[in-house]
Amino acid sequence: MRWALAFVVAFSVGCQQRTSPVQPSAPTTPAGTSTSLTILGQVTESDTNTPVEGATVCWSETLERRCAQTGMDGTYVLVTDRPHIPATARSAKLAPGVSKDGFEYRQSWVPYDLGNLMRWSPGLQRIVRIEAGRSFAGTVFPQEGSGILDEDDCESCKRIQIAIQRAGTVTLRLTADRDDLRLALTRYDKRSVDAPISVTAGENLIVLVTGAITPTRFELSTVFNLER
């Protein structure tokens, strides 16, 4: 796994056994003695802002997972070890992860001031899955995000899974209330959204509707042509 930011000094484990980096910023004063770190916040559903009960939030600097579950009000308190940051660092960013059945996995960079407390209140997106040739209409929210950092992560985006039954091509068309929105594929998918996309039987094509500055309505239309 490659990391998006260059100065990685430690690694952590998020939900689903995902590894997470720790990234320090400009050096100034010593970081202090490593003791415990409490991560707390509230997990909500991004499009309704309602609490998500039973979500699992994880972060640990080692391979030993440290996790907490959200209560009825979507809040959680996760107590873990404070990460080992170079004494010359002033602040850092940690990458906790959150998961729940029926929702997209999410991992995000969170500013960390090297103290005993960090807050993270992520919005989770429900899984959206359509068959090739179908359309989906919805709203993308600025607080939405999903994916694993430096693999398939996106912020201020809606993730749509397109199920491919047969080999062929899929053509995508986006209509939206604002011109800010655009289509994209995940980071390491080198195919273009501006031309018919060659797909294989059984593939799960991931399409991202990105660029949300304000909540924006959109419709994603797909046209499937069978391979001849």
pLDDT at 22: 55
Instruction: Pinpoint the residues of the chain covered by CATH 2.60.120.
Output: 129-226
Question: Which DSSP symbol is given to 82?
Answer: P
Mean pLDDT of 36-64: 92
Mean pLDDT of 196-203: 96
What's the CA gap between 85 and 58, in Å, rounded?
Answer: 19
What's the CA gap between 93 and 96, in Å, rounded?
Answer: 10
Spatial strand order in the sheet of 129-131: 129-131, 157-163, 204-210, 182-185
**CATH annotation of 10-124:** 2.60.40.10
Per-residue model confidence as pLDDT tens digits over 9-18: 433 445 554 4
Query: Does 65 score more than 90 pLDDT?
Result: no
Spatial strand order in the sheet of 36-42: 75-81, 36-42, 117-119
What's the CA gap between 112 and 106, in Å, rounded?
Answer: 18
CATH topology classification for 129-226: Jelly Rolls (2.60.120)
End-to-end Cα spacing for the chain: 37
In contact, 137 and 208? CB cutoff 8 Å: no
Query: Does 47 score more than 80 pLDDT?
Result: yes
pLDDT at 1: 31
Instruction: Pinpoint the residues of the chain covered by CATH 2.60.40.10.
Output: 10-124
Q: How far is CA 137 from CA 22, 149, 158, 170, 183, in A?
A: 37, 27, 11, 18, 14
Higher pLDDT, 135 or 143: 135
> What percent of the chain lies above the pLDDT cut of 70?
85
Mean pLDDT of 93-104: 96
What's the CA gap between 152 and 185, in Å, rounded?
Answer: 9
Mean pLDDT of 104-118: 93
